Amino acid sequence: MKKFISVLGESEATAKNCRIAEEVGRRIAEGGGVLVCGGLTGVMTSAAKGAKQAGGLTIGILPGSSHEEANPHVDIPIITGIGYARNKIVVKTGQVCIAIGGSYGTLSEIAFALGYGIPVIGLNTWELVRRHKMDKGIIYVDTPKEAVDLAFKLMAKRTKARKRTREKGV
């Protein structure tokens, strides 16, 4: 089964976040994963570029109505025509999300993922505070390698848990 990792991040990204995203994309592809993103600029372009350079497959879930909106590193553009409501589709397509940097669109994607029980790994991204305490929903790491290694580990763990559930007939 293919492993889908959604990369979430800002469209107007810093140079640092672009470098992080490119390495994340490369590592996803090297691990045999499929990169899913919003298909536009910034973190999305950099992550898709890294994946393509490593021979990976990229999917861009686009907010508009045209294939031409996709950055040049997207193999499969999905046209939604629903604006940034497409953030939910970006999240639900991935089995794990990696958030890099981010503005409010990224924050909405993080919220959707956490609401659906999809793990979120954070690199230089939002910190969530609830009732004056750090929310533990995002798993923060320091490097792209840690992020991607953890993403594959979490997917393997979830796959094993689903298999055990099926074997028990639940």
Q: Is pLDDT above 80 for 160?
A: no
What is the pTM (predicted TM-score) of this model? 0.94
Decide if 28 contacts 55 (C-beta within 8 A).
no
Average pLDDT over residues 69-80: 98
CA distances 97 to 17, 62, 69, 124, 148, Å, are 16, 17, 22, 14, 10
Distance CA 74, CA 142 (A): 26
The top-level CATH class assigned to 3-167 is alpha beta
- Return the higher-pLDDT residue of 72 and 160: 72
Sign of CA dihedral 100, 145, 119, 32: positive
Residues 6+ away with beta carbon under 8 Å from 158 = 95
**pLDDT band at residue 159, thresholds of 50, 70 and 90?**
confident
- The string of pLDDT tens digits covering residues 84-134 is 999 999 999 999 999 999 899 999 999 999 999 999 999 999 999 989 999
Q: What is the mean pLDDT of residues 47-72?
A: 98
Do residues 30 and 54 lie in contact, with contact meaning Cβ atoms separated by under 8 Å? yes
Question: In this prediction, what percent of the chain has a pLDDT beyond 90?
Answer: 90
Residue pair 76/57 in contact by the 8 Å Cβ criterion: yes
Angstrom distance (rounded) from CA 111 to CA 69: 25
pLDDT band for 81, please (50, 70, 90 cuts).
Answer: very high
> 170 pLDDT exceeds 70?
no
pLDDT at 167 over 90: no
pLDDT at 129: 92
pLDDT of residue 1: 80
Least confident of 45-59, 95-109, 153-167: 153-167
The tokens describing 37, both together, are: 């993103």
